[in-house]
Amino acid sequence: MTYATRLVPLILTLWFGAASAGLESYDFSGNVGEQRFKELIAELRCLVCQNQSLIDSDAGLADDLRHEVYEMMEQGQSDDQIVEFLVARYGDFVLYDPPVKPSTYILWYGPAALLLLGLLLLARTLWQRRAQAHSEATFSEEERQRLQQLLNDNEDKSGGRQ
Instruction: State the CB neighbour count (10 A cutoff) for residue 106.
Output: 10
- 28-43 residue pLDDT tens: 777 678 888 889 999 9
Q: Residue 49 carries which DSSP code?
A: T
From 52, 77, 99, give the residue that closes a domain: 99
- Per-residue pLDDT tens over the stretch 97-115: 888 889 888 888 999 999 9
Give the per-residue pLDDT at 141.
Answer: 83
Query: Does 122 lie in the same domain as 137?
Result: yes
Range of the domain at 124: 105-158
Write down the pTM of the prediction: 0.55
Same domain (yes/no): 111, 73: no
In this model, does residue 18 exceed pLDDT 50? no
Asked whether residue 8 falls in the same domain as residue 78, the answer is: yes
Q: How far is CA 92 from the centre of its chain?
A: 17
For residues 24 and 62, state if they share a domain.
yes
The count of C-alpha atoms lying within 13 angstroms of the C-alpha of 32, restricted to the half-sphere facing its C-beta, is 22
